Structure 1
Amino acid sequence: MTNSVQLHRRRHLPIPEQGQWLASVVRGYLAYYAVPGNSDAAAAFRTQVTRQWFKALRRRSQRHRLNWVRMDRLATRWLPPVRVMHPFPNVRFSATTQGRSPVR
């Protein structure tokens, strides 16, 4: 089931519950895809999550009071910021050893 379908099903839950769930979705995405050189795609994912959440929240009632200023505050409050989670491969895979054994 895609995240937009899940968001559609959860749109009438309280905003803190939605925020916690979406934060875990964004954290999971960043844990896998936030590698050096991919920060633009990770930022685009967070932006799209914010847009989809905005659309879901505005469909909660006929009299919506949600504007982008408030939505930005919600996204800043609940969604983690985009940052590179993994180092460059040359840093990650460089092992320093003592003596002849690569295990130590």
Structure 2
Amino acid sequence: MSVSERTKEIGILRALGERKKDIRRLFTSESVFIGLFSAILALLIVAVVTVIINHALYGLIKYNIVQITVGNVIFAIVIAIVISFIAALLPARRAANLNPIDALAAD
């Protein structure tokens, strides 16, 4: 969900005493979780496609042409998390700076 869709929720949290830092942490942690989940899902899809490609090409070439290493998996997960964190910084900052009164009055 975007910041604009959660304006009232942010206003309620701020009115209940949540600090700006807590709101920023809420949005960035959600984004990192989504990035991690996306990376794991993408790696599962890549593993299936790798098996299909290697099986299809095994008749022509007697070795696995596509290989997934542990380094590639770690790199993909780290990159997905970093990109999702960076993408969440600006919306999280915007959400944290919302005035609670204006956020509660928004439709």
Question: Scaled by the length of structure 2, what TM-score is found?
Answer: 0.41
Higher relative contact order (CA 8 A, sep 6+): 2
1 or 2, which has the higher helix percentage?
2
- Structure index of larger Rg: 2
Question: Scaled by the length of structure 1, what TM-score is found?
Answer: 0.42
